[in-house]
């Protein structure tokens, strides 16, 4: 394993050398791309769609060397590497928020109940606002630039007992991670946060340590949480948004035509993601219903959003006008 990673990095170093000087449109170019998820995962498929479109648009003159399953490290390790000027990794798929790295505007995307539905998010992803946020780390000299957004689906609350409204969450022992945003959300909804590692979540629901948790539909089903917590409410409180980054020095070295190819391939990947997320979630809902899971749809999200009003205001206070523009894309 170590040997294979070493060989990949040696090859990518040569790719970086070729990327460190201005490229003509005719000169072949290989870019190393890191993905922590398996290639068959939803996001792994989006990465592959991006790579294939780059090859098509460039007539094979730009190759994306996609390395999945965390071969090049987990997300924190990948971020540590890609921000360096001499990074051997040129592209990476990471979480949408870069707030901890200085990309403060990206925090707005992770505020609970920002997006009322998937259509709202895709309007954002296709907007000039998205371009502004993607470009923020590059403008601030943080070592990377965002290329495009994708998503893994909304997160929803599920429970070991009936949950059909916001009131049903009150006082319930609700699993949280180390995420401050998630902890604040749970408290705003008057539930009781209980920190449990993801690996222990199934057992905690089974034993009663926790009564409620949240995950995207795909994780809820694939991890078998529906077996021990067969009630789910589709409140869509947070979106599993992700983005693809490119190293700034590599971006600077590209010709305008090469940049446009990457951007166009990114738009293609975004629309590809939209199609497979919708298809995947519809299929999962059918499977859950067939297995007896009680699913409650939320027709009016305003009571949930109102309960988190102070939290939302505090999280968006640095860029209130920009945040309002994001919210208003749905109107």
Tokens of 96: 């949408």
Distance CA 191, CA 217 (A): 21
Which tens digit of pLDDT belongs to each residue from 115-141?
A: 988 899 999 999 999 999 999 999 999
Which tens digit of pLDDT belongs to each residue from 192-241?
A: 999 998 889 999 999 999 999 999 898 899 889 999 999 999 999 999 89
Q: Answer left, alpha or beta for residue 140, where phi above 0 means left and psi between -120 and 50 means alpha.
A: alpha
Which tens digit of pLDDT belongs to each residue from 54-104?
A: 999 999 999 999 999 889 998 889 999 999 999 999 999 998 989 889 999
Q: Determine the pLDDT at residue 25.
A: 46
Q: Answer left, alpha or beta for residue 125, where phi above 0 means left and psi between -120 and 50 means alpha.
A: alpha
Q: Determine the pLDDT at residue 22.
A: 47
Q: State the pTM of this model.
A: 0.80
CA 173, 178, 180, 182 torsion-angle sign: negative
- Partner residues linked to 175 by β-bridges: 194
Which tens digit of pLDDT belongs to each residue from 152-183?
A: 899 999 999 999 999 999 999 999 987 788 89
Q: Determine the pLDDT at residue 152.
A: 87
Please give the DSSP secondary-structure letter assigned to residue 26.
T
Residue 175 parent element (H or E): strand 173-176
Mean residue pLDDT of the chain comes to: 91
23 confidence band (pLDDT: 50, 70, 90): very low
Q: Determine the pLDDT at residue 216.
A: 87
DSSP for 86-107 reads: T-S--EEEEES-BGGGTBGGGG
Tokens of 121: 């998010």
Which tens digit of pLDDT belongs to each residue from 249-260?
A: 999 999 999 999
Which whole number is the average pLDDT over 33-47?
Answer: 90
Distance CA 229, CA 162 (A): 9
CATH fold group of domain 2-104+112-151+241-281: D-Maltodextrin-Binding Protein; domain 2 (3.40.190)
Do the domains 156-238+284-328 and 2-104+112-151+241-281 match in fold? yes
Distance CA 168, CA 111 (A): 22
Distance CA 8, CA 69 (A): 14
Residue boundaries of the structural domains of the chain: 2-104+112-151+241-281, 156-238+284-328
Contact call for residues 208 and 231 (beta carbons, < 8 A): no
CB atoms within 10 A of CB 208: 9
Q: Determine the pLDDT at residue 240.
A: 86
Between 118-125 and 256-290, two packed helices, what is the crossing angle to 10 degrees?
170
Contact call for residues 15 and 30 (beta carbons, < 8 A): yes
5 confidence band (pLDDT: 50, 70, 90): low
Which tens digit of pLDDT belongs to each residue from 261-287?
A: 999 999 999 999 999 998 888 999 999
Q: Determine the pLDDT at residue 26.
A: 56
Between residues 67 and 42, the one the model is more confident about: 67
Q: Determine the pLDDT at residue 211.
A: 98
Tell me if residue 192 falls in helix, strand or coil.
Answer: strand
CA angle 31–260–257, rounded 5-degree value:
85
Flag whether pLDDT at 21 surpasses 80: no
CA angle 218–220–223, rounded 5-degree value:
95
Distance CA 117, CA 327 (A): 11
Tokens of 215: 């995950």
Contact call for residues 210 and 175 (beta carbons, < 8 A): yes
Q: Which CATH superfamily is domain 156-238+284-328 in?
A: Bacterial extracellular solute-binding protein, family 7 (3.40.190.170)
Q: What share of the chain is helix, strand, coil (3-state, %, to 5)?
A: 50, 20, 30
């Amino acid at each position: 394993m170590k040997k294979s990673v070493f060989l990949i990095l040696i090859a990518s170093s040569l790719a970086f050398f070729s990327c460190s000087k201005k490229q003509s449109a005719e000169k072949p170019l290989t870019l190393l791309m890191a993905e922590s998820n398996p290639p068959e995962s939803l996001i792994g498929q989006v990465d592959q769609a991006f790579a294939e479109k780059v090859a098509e648009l460039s007539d094979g003159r730009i190759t994306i060397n996609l390395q999945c399953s965390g071969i090049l490290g987990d997300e924190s390790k990948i971020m540590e590497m890609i921000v360096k000027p001499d990074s051997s990794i040129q592209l990476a798929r990471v979480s949408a928020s870069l707030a901890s790295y200085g990309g403060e505007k990206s925090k707005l995307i992770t505020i609970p109940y920002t997006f009322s539905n998937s259509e709202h998010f895709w309007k954002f992803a296709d907007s000039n606002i998205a371009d502004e946020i993607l470009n923020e780390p590059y403008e601030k000299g943080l070592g990377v630039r965002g290329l495009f957004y994708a998503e893994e689906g909304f997160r929803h609350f599920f429970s070991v007992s009936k949950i059909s409204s916001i009131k049903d969450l009150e006082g319930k022992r609700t699993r949280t991670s180390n995420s401050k945003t998630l902890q604040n959300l749970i408290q705003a909804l008057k539930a009781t946060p209980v920190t449990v590692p993801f690996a222990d979540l199934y057992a905690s629901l089974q034993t009663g340590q926790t009564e409620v948790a949240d995950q995207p539909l795909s994780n809820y089903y694939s991890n078998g949480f529906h077996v021990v917590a067969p009630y789910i409410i589709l409140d869509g409180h947070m979106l599993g948004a992700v983005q693809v980054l490119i190293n700034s020095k590599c971006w600077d070295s590209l010709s305008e035509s090469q940049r446009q190819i990457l951007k166009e391939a990114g738009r293609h990947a975004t629309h590809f993601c939209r199609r497979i997320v919708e298809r995947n979630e519809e299929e999962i809902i059918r499977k859950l219903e067939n297995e007896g899971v009680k699913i409650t749809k939320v027709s009016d999200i305003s009571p949930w959003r109102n309960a988190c009003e102070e939290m939302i205001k505090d999280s968006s206070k640095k860029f209130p006008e920009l945040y309002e523009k994001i919210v208003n894309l749905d109107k």
